[in-house]
Amino acid sequence: MSIQTIGIIGAGTMGNGIAQACSAAGLQAVLQDVSEPALARALKTISGSLDRAVRKGTLTEEAKAAVLGRIRTTTAAQDLAEADLVIEAATENEAIKIRILQAVDAIARPGTIIATNTSSISITRLAAATQRPDRFVGMHFFNPVPVMALVEIIRGLRTSEATVEAVADLARTLGKTPIGVKNSAGFVVNRILCPMINEAIFTLQEGLASAEEIDAGMRLGCNHPIGPLALCDLVGLDVQLAVMDVLYSNFNDSKYRPAPLLREMVDAGMLGRKTGRGFYTYEK
């Protein structure tokens, strides 16, 4: 089946980026959210991102209008019935996602694939909430979606190979590189990245070096574009802690225990860039 129309549920940080990427690739995007203001903000964000491309000379005004023209926003879940594939990118809360997925399962055509962009909830468990676990898959995009080249394609226990192939093809259509991953907490990238950041926090807590020195070590010694502590400030210390808690509780392995300093800083409201203070201090 040719995939022409993508339904996207949730118009937040990820949903608006996914809608932009789909539309920029020539597909129709139906962007659905329960919140009118979220939809308005999403269109503003997409328009701002396209304006930057116009200013840089990488996009014409006509192309910008065409991209915006292929994105339809709606608060009506029923409008997702016309989608050839649906990507759920709503709030990271299992109960909310299960309600959304059961509703879209009842609305979407029987052959339609449903994908979820969840960062931490089991794909197998979300799939089991639908009547189509073979046509259910994880499609984990990275932030900001229009810029980041990777999509993790996560197979739940009952996801079919045809479903994996179809979403990998879609990722390539969007100009992304897909990697296939079995369902497991943190998938691949966060499973590697977050413990690395956590270890950097342990080295700081143990006084092995200053934050600047730890970051310089990983930038200059490993060619990382940004040090782990500066990256943690960017992602948010609360988000880093949530991922470590998920890894720790899923694997019951002490190697994933969150650094006590991380928890202490989250308790103090030092969440990184978003609060102006984390491992570094930021001007508001």
Q: Which is nearer to ligand NAD, 40 or 65 (CB)?
A: 40
Cβ proximity to ligand NAD: between 16 and 163 the closer is: 16
Phi, psi of 30 (to 5 degrees): -110, 110
State how far the alpha carbon of 284 is from the alpha carbons of 45, 237, 271, 274, 277, in Å: 21, 17, 14, 9, 10
Q: Which is nearer to ligand NAD, 199 or 238 (CB)?
A: 238
- Pick from 63, 68, 74, 92 the residue near ligand NAD by CB under 6 A: 92
Considering only 4, 35, 102, 177, the residue that binds ligand NAD (CB under 6 A) is 35
Q: If binding is defined by CB under 6 A, does position 10 make contact with ligand NAD? A: yes
Does position 233 bind ligand NAD by CB under 6 A?
Answer: no
Amino acid at 48: G
Active site (annotated) includes residue 252: no
Concerning whether 250 is annotated as a catalytic residue, the answer is: no
- Which region among 91-99, 155-163, 209-217, 242-250 touches ligand NAD (by CB under 6 A)? 91-99
Rounded Cα distance, 203 and 214, in Å = 8
Binder of ligand NAD out of 3, 63, 96, 179 (CB under 6 A): 96
Query: What count of other Cβ atoms lies within 10 Å of the Cβ of residue 160?
Result: 16
33 binds ligand NAD (CB under 6 A): yes
Instruction: Kindly tell me which residue out of 23, 73, 112, 117 binds ligand NAD, with binding defined by CB under 6 A.
Output: 117
Shortest reach from residue 33's CB to ligand NAD, in Å: 4
Give 83 or 204: the residue with its C-beta nearer to ligand NAD: 83
Task: Between 209 and 234, name the residue whose CB sits nearer to ligand NAD.
Answer: 234
Tokens of 261: 């300093």
Catalytic one of 117, 120, 190, 198? 190
Q: Which two tokens stand for residue 118?
A: 């969840």
**N-to-C CA span, the chain:** 49
* CA count, 13 A, side-chain hemisphere, 168: 13
Interface with ligand NAD includes 45 (CB under 6 A)? no
Pairwise CA distance, residues 111 & 131, whole Å: 11
Locate all alpha helices (DSSP H) within 108-223, ordered by sequence.
Answer: 123-127, 161-173, 189-205, 211-222
d(CA 121, CA 56): 38
Cα 11 off chain centre by: 12
Task: Count CB-CB contacts under 10 A for residue 223.
Answer: 7
Q: Is 124 in the site for ligand NAD (CB under 6 A)?
A: no
Q: Does 108 bind ligand NAD (CB under 6 A)?
A: no
DSSP state of 25: T
The reply to whether 100 sits near ligand NAD by the rule CB under 6 A is: yes
**Widest pairwise Cα distance in the chain:** 57
Q: Which of 16, 117, 119, 120 is catalytic?
A: 119
190 as an active site residue: the answer is: yes
Stretch that binds ligand NAD, among 55-63, 90-98, 218-226, 255-263 (CB under 6 A): 90-98
Which residues make up the interface to ligand NAD (CB under 6 A)?
9-15, 32-35, 38, 89-92, 96, 100, 117-119, 140-141, 143
